[in-house]
Amino acid sequence: MADGTASLSLGGNAHDFPVRSGSVGPDVIDIRKLYAQTGAFTYDPGFTSTAACESAITYIDGDAGILLHRGYPIDQLAEKSTFMEVSYLLLNGELPTGEELAKFTYTISRHTMLHEQLATFLRGFRRDAHPMAVMCGIVGALSAFYHDSTDITDPKQRMIASHRLIAKMPTIAAMAYKYTIGQPFMYPQNNLTYTGNFLRMTFGVPAEPYEVNPVVEQAMRTIFILHADHEQNASTSTVRLAGSSGANPFACIAAGIACLWGPAHGGANEAALNMLREIGRPERIPEFIARAKDKDDPFRLMGFGHRVYKNYDPRAKVMQKIAEQVLKELGVNDPVFDVARELEHIALNDEYFIEKKLYPNVDFYSGVVLSAIGFPTSMFTALFALARTVGWVAQWNEMISDPEQKIGRPRQLYTGANQRDYVAVGER
Ligand code: CMC
């Protein structure tokens, strides 16, 4: 690679490709003309070395453990900002002025209610439905209820759809929860903060007033900020791929929710807490560490490791602090927190984890906090989806506005049968 070009020698012929530099981070080799020039594809399952888009929203340096949203470090946003402010920042590129923030917060609060018919739709689910199944269904169904904001070529409509999604996710997540426990749905109360409103819709009942605990509210707000966006992860790439065909935003976000559900992605917080509970006491940790290292055992330490972070996930550091604060405030003496801390300590000093650069990720402590607040494990990924919605819509908007955007269409290395003639069933 030299002077902005990369040379590739293939079958004795040399081919040059432009190299592009971002504002920070690794250069990329622009291989869009590769097939036309060489007749070859690249092979990169899991996209470990492939940039699928240009983006100005979030930057991660996984080796240094850095996460920036529009340039601002995640720890500063987590400590000093609010979820509404971070949402504005992700969507619009700059921190809002006081007036812009007030207007944005008001706009979001005006979209918190759901079409009443959606409650009927939700009641069609089984009572034991997983909240993520409900979220996939309801969010996908929003396109049938808010069809006036599905013209994706109109930036104004795209913004209205984005605001609707950000505003309605807490209402949907809370309803999914209320439905499983047989309590009445709570309507939003717009004089509360985004987070306070969600807590009330989740834990309040119509029979009595609900007081938002400020420590819990602050913890939830920080958890939402920590999950708001994370560059081109699997669910965000799913949203982009779905959106690249011109699909409506509600359908695209439903696709993102479906992807997030998997245990290797957003489902890891649920899996991590289940694992900590299964371990139960610090004395059993070595047994689980040994299993995680055993090549013949599919068991992995959930909440450990990351495709991008080869250092401490900066979100995990904040999350550990929140866990301590929330457990103290609520007087919860949960032995899983002790197991988590001891497991982290042992793993971080173990040769296997050191060599593979496996560190706790955001999901390692989040389950401990959410459980202490009162959420069942099945709600954990739904909360992740709620918070990630702003990242998804920001990335979707950026993609649609990009003049270089094309329908996503990966190629393949075909290893199946060559062309052959059909044989009638009686002759096989
Ligand atoms: N426990 C034990 N070994 C592990 C773990 C783990 N949690 N994670 C990775 N490894 C090993 C893996 O076996 C492999 O070893 P080898 O090179 O000998 O085959 C090596 O480390 C590299 O792993 P990989 O699966 O090739 O790495 P990846 O980048 O494809 O996977 C990951 C990243 C997050 C899927 C993986 O680390 C994992 O499964 N972690 C547990 C699930 C989890 O916590 N996921 C949440 C991710 S953060 C939230 C989010 O973004 O959704």
Task: Report pLDDT digits (tens) over 163-186.
Answer: 999 999 999 999 999 999 999 999
- Give the pLDDT confidence score for residue 151 in this predicted structure: 87
Which of 397, 422, 415 shows the shortest CA–CA distance to 90? 397
Coil, strand or helix at 356? coil
Instruction: Indicate if the alpha-carbon torsion angle 353, 311, 233, 84 is positive or negative.
Output: positive
- Give the pLDDT confidence score for residue 1 in this predicted structure: 54
- Give the pLDDT confidence score for residue 339 in this predicted structure: 93
Q: Of the residues 306, 310, 353, which should be mutated to test ligand 1's pocket, given the most ligand atoms within 8 Å of the CB? A: 306
Model confidence at 263, pLDDT cuts 50, 70, 90, reads confident
Q: Is 292 in the pocket of ligand 1 (CB under 6 A)?
A: yes
Q: How far apart are CA 230 and CA 396, in angstroms?
A: 13
Ligand 1 centroid distance, CA of 300 (Å): 7
Query: 400-412 pLDDT, tens per residue?
Result: 999 999 999 999 9
Q: Give 32's contacts (C-beta < 8 A, 6+ positions apart).
A: none
Q: Is 266 in the pocket of ligand 1 (CB under 6 A)?
A: yes
Q: Taking residues 27-37, what's their average pLDDT?
A: 96
Ligand 1 centroid distance, CA of 306 (Å): 6
Ligand 1 centroid distance, CA of 307 (Å): 7
Ligand 1 centroid distance, CA of 304 (Å): 7
- Measured at the CA of 151, the angle between CA 109 and CA 171, to 5 degrees, comes to 25
Q: How far apart are CA 83 and CA 92, in angstroms?
A: 14
Mean predicted lDDT score pLDDT of the chain? 94
DSSP state of 425: G
Torsion of CA 349, 352, 356, 358, to 10 degrees: -50
Residue corresponding to tokens 């495709």: 307
Query: 116-157 pLDDT, tens per residue?
Result: 999 999 999 999 999 999 999 999 999 999 887 778 999 999
Q: Is 357 in the pocket of ligand 1 (CB under 6 A)?
A: no
- Give the pLDDT confidence score for residue 224 in this predicted structure: 97
Residue corresponding to tokens 């944005």: 104
Ligand 1 centroid distance, CA of 140 (Å): 30
Q: Of the residues 58, 265, 300, 312, which should be mutated to test ligand 1's pocket, given the most ligand atoms within 8 Å of the CB? A: 300
Query: For residue 42, is pLDDT > 70?
Result: yes
The answer to whether the CB of 337 falls within 8 A of the CB of 327 is yes
Q: Going by CA atoms, what residue is nearest to atom 21 of ligand 1? A: 356
- Give the pLDDT confidence score for residue 270 in this predicted structure: 86
Helical axes 380-401 vs 249-260, angle rounded to 10°? 140
Q: How far apart are CA 23 and CA 240, in angstroms?
A: 22
Q: Is 307 in the pocket of ligand 1 (CB under 6 A)?
A: yes
- Give the pLDDT confidence score for residue 3 in this predicted structure: 59
The answer to whether the CB of 217 falls within 8 A of the CB of 203 is no
Q: Is 319 in the pocket of ligand 1 (CB under 6 A)?
A: no
Report the run of H or E that residue 88 belongs to, with start and end: helix 83-92
Enumerate helices (H) and strands (E) in the chain, giving the number of each: 18, 6
Query: 92-114 pLDDT, tens per residue?
Result: 999 999 999 999 999 999 999 99
Q: Is 356 in the pocket of ligand 1 (CB under 6 A)?
A: yes
Q: Of the residues 356, 359, 365, 392, which should be mutated to test ligand 1's pocket, given the most ligand atoms within 8 Å of the CB? A: 356
Q: Is 302 in the pocket of ligand 1 (CB under 6 A)?
A: yes
Amino acid 162 reads: S
Q: Is 170 in the pocket of ligand 1 (CB under 6 A)?
A: no
Model confidence at 337, pLDDT cuts 50, 70, 90, reads confident
Model confidence at 36, pLDDT cuts 50, 70, 90, reads very high
Q: Going by CA atoms, what residue is nearest to atom 8 of ligand 1? A: 305
Catalytic residues: 306, 363
